[in-house]
Amino acid sequence: MNKARTIFFVGKPGCGKGTQAKLLAEKTGWTIISAGEKFRDLATKNTPVGRKVKTENDAGLLQPYWLATYLYLKELFALPDNSPIIFDGFNRKVLEAELVLESLKWLGRSFSIVYIDVSDEEVRHRLNERKKVSGRADDFAPEERLKEYYEHTEKAIEIFRDAEVLIEVNGEQSFENISKEINTALSLS
């Protein structure tokens, strides 16, 4: 029986998570669920939640763990048997990381966490370039986003490393080489 594959992408802002998730989806045909897209969609709603999400997104802050886990679990629990999935950015805080591990273990789904490693200088450079074309307010807050990374995401990554489910990839090479490295690590080449 073909076991379901569940892939998560994690890393600093601007490391290329979205790009690599798209390349993996193109190669495999798997669906991508992006936390950033979910939050940006919520931010367009003229509701108390939508306005709060927009304010925090624009400031470069991570959303509350309970909102991210709600969106993650809603998607995960709707998946049919043996349906592979790519999650982009749903594991950026410690409680989210712990929930990811517990929920997938409980469901018996195979999974991997792909960590795309880049330097802070590379983050600043990429966000500076991306803000020229993205229209995303959070691209104008690189220092706040890096602060959030070190305060939250770095600790979440350690949880995945300790659980021995983390695949570490050098994010400071061409996107084609990063993709090849990910495909090899996931035994998809």
pLDDT digits (tens, 9 = 90+) for 65-109: 999 999 999 999 999 888 999 999 888 899 999 999 999 999 999
Domains annotated on the chain, with CATH = 5-185 (3.40.50.300)
Residues 151-188 have pLDDT tens digits of 999 999 999 999 999 999 999 999 999 999 999 999 98
Residue type, 4: A
Beta-carbon contacts of 137 under 8 Å, excluding residues fewer than 6 positions away, are 57, 58
Beta-carbon contacts of 114 under 8 Å, excluding residues fewer than 6 positions away, are 7, 8, 9, 10, 20, 167, 169, 182, 185, 186
Q: What is the pTM of this model?
A: 0.89
